[in-house]
Amino acid sequence: MTPPPFDCALNSSTQEAELCAYTQAFFVLPTSSPSGNTAWALTASAFMVALGPAIGLYFSGQGGVKSAGNTLVMAAAAMALVAFQWFLFGYSLAYGVNTESIGNLAWGGFTTVFEAPSNIYSPTVPQLIYACLQDQYAAFAASIIAGAIVERMKFTRFVLFIFIWTTIVYDVVAHWIWSQSSPGASPTSLAQGAVGGWAGWLSNGAHSNVVAVDFAGGIVVCVVAGSSGLAAATVLGPRHVSSAPPKPHDVPLAMIGVGFLWFAWLAMASAAPRALADGVAGLAIWNTQIAASTGLLTWLLLEKLTGGAPSPLGATFGMIAGFAGISSGSGYISYWGAFLTGIICSLVCFLAKKLRVYLQRPDDTLDTFALFAVGGGMGAFCTGLFANPNVNLVSGAQGGFPNLLGYQLVAVCIAFIYSFGVTAILTLALDKLFKARIAPDEEAAGVDVVEHGGLAYAKEGTPNAMGG
C-alpha cells in the first residue's frame, strides 16, 4: 500500500498529525492520482448540485397541482440555505476534529479552509473542494424533508426550520459517523471510506470497538432525513383536506426528476467520503446502478403480484428504495451483494409504504420515511451482512464478522431516535412560537396561492402563475 504524497507534520496539531499518520498508512490508492482525484471531486460536486432540483421535480410531480410550486421552491431554498450554513459553521461543526459529540468552529467561515489538502479528510484533494462536496450531502438531506410536509408548513417557517435542523440534527449525526474525532480510532476504519466518528457509539473511537460504516449516506442522509420528515409530519398533523396520498398532477415530471436523481446519485455514491478517482469509486457506481435497477424491477413485480399493474410511479419508488439501500455499502460489497440489497430494500420499502397507506398515519405525504429511512436503514443492515473484505477491507457476516450487523443496527437506531426526537421538538417549538402550520382554509385554497402568490400552472379563472 502506497501512502499519499503529503507531509503529515505540515500545519498540524499533535492529534491531527497522529490521525494523519493513520490515514497515510492505511489509505489504499491503487489507481488514483492527486490531479485525477481533484478533477473527480470537482466534477462530482457539480453533478450533485442536481440532487436538490431533481428531488424537487420528483416531489412536485407526485403532489397535487395546488402545491407544485411550493414543493419546488422548498427544495431549492433548502439547497441554498444549507450552502450558506455550511460556509458559516456547518462544515466545521460536522467535520471539526479533536471533539466527540459535535465539531468546533475552527473552520467557520472557511477562515482556515485552504486550497491545500486536509491532512485528515482529503489527503490528495484541496480541502475547499472536499468541503463543497460534503455540502451537497447536507443540502440533499434537507431537501428530502420537503416531501414529508407538503401542503402543511408555511414557507418562511420552513426556511427557519431547515437552517436550525441542519445545525442541530444533520451536522451532529454527520459528525458522529463521518468525522474523525479521536486518535484512538482504529487505523483500519480510515481505509477506503470508513471514516471514524463519535468515539463510543457510531464509530470506532477511544471508548469502544464499535465501528459502523456508511460509505455514501445511507444512514447520514437517508435515515436522518426520512426520520426527520416523519417527525415533522407527525407534529404538524395530517392534512385537513385528506390524509390519503395526493393525486399526482404530473407523472412525467416525477419521472424526469427521478431520472436526474439517478444521474446525480451515481456521483453521490462514488464520491464520498473519500473523493478518490479509483477502482472503489467505480465499484460504488456499479453497485448503485445494480441496486437501483433491481429495486425498480422488484417493485414493479410486487405491484403485479399484489393485484395492481406496473406503474411509472412504482418504478420511481423502486429506484429510490434501491438508491437509499445501497448507499451505506456501495463501496464495501460485491456486485451480487448489491443485487440482493436492491431486492431486499425494495421489498421492505414496498411493505412499509403499503402499511402507511393502510393506516393513513402518520401523514408523511410522499412517503419519505418508507422510502428513504426504511431503505437506508435496511441497506445499512445489508451492508453488515454482505460487506466483503476482498472488496474493500470491511468484513460483514459474509466475510466472517457478523458483529458488523449489530453495529449497523445500533447506528441506524441511534440515528433514527436522535433525528426523530430532535426534529419533533424543533417542529413543535416553531409551531408554538411562530405558527408554522398552514391554516385549514389556506390549505383548501392551495399553498401555492397562499404562500407564493399564484399557481405554478396558470389556468383560466385562477391567480396568475407565480412570478408572472
Highest mean pLDDT among 89-98, 256-265, 452-461: 256-265
Task: Give the DSSP per-residue string, 353-392.
Answer: HHHHHHHT-S--TT-HIIIIIHHHHHHHHHHHHHB-HHHH
What per-residue confidence (pLDDT) applies to 459?
65
Residue 444 is which amino acid?
A: A
Average pLDDT over residues 81-104: 89
What per-residue confidence (pLDDT) applies to 463?
59
Candidates 1.10.3430.10, 3.40.50.2300, 3.30.460.10, 3.30.70.120; correct CATH number of 50-452? 1.10.3430.10
Average pLDDT over residues 88-108: 87
Q: What is the Cα–Cα distance from 332 to 55, expressed in whole angstroms? A: 26
pTM of this structure: 0.88
Q: What is the Cα–Cα distance from 205 to 173, expressed in whole angstroms? A: 15
In Å, how far from its chain's centre is CA 351? 22
**Contact (CB, 8 A) for 316 and 308:** no
Statement: residue 169 has pLDDT above 60: yes
Statement: residue 304 has pLDDT above 90: yes
**Contact (CB, 8 A) for 227 and 411:** no
Question: Measured between alpha carbons, how far apart are the two ends of the chain, in Å?
Answer: 60
pLDDT tens digits, one per residue of 100-143: 778 889 999 998 888 888 777 878 889 999 999 999 999 999 99
Statement: residue 52 has pLDDT above 80: yes
Q: What is the Cα–Cα distance from 92 to 175, expressed in whole angstroms? A: 9
Helix axis angle, 251-271 to 51-62, nearest 10°: 150
- The verdict on whether omega for the bond into residue 245 sits within 30 degrees of 0, i.e. cis, is no
Q: Which residue has the cell 447506528?
A: 411
pLDDT tens digits, one per residue of 388-404: 888 888 889 988 889 99
Closest CA to 382 of 258, 215, 170: 215
Phi first, then psi: what are they for 423, rounded to 5°?
Answer: -65, -40
**Contact (CB, 8 A) for 24 and 108:** no
Q: Which residue has the cell 397507506?
A: 357
Q: Is 153 helix (H, G, I), strand (E, B) or coil?
A: strand
What mean pLDDT value characterizes the chain?
85
What per-residue confidence (pLDDT) applies to 453?
86
Q: How confident is the model at residue 5 (pLDDT cuts 50, 70, 90)?
A: very low
Q: How many CB atoms lie within 10 A of CB 462?
A: 15
Q: What is the Cα–Cα distance from 327 to 329, expressed in whole angstroms? A: 6
For the chain, give every domain's residue range.
50-452
Q: What is the Cα–Cα distance from 134 to 310, expressed in whole angstroms? A: 36
Provide the grid cell at 23: 490515514
Task: Give the DSSP per-residue string, 303-325.
Answer: HHHTTS---HHHHHHHHHHHHHH
Q: Looking at residue 458, what DSSP letter applies?
A: -
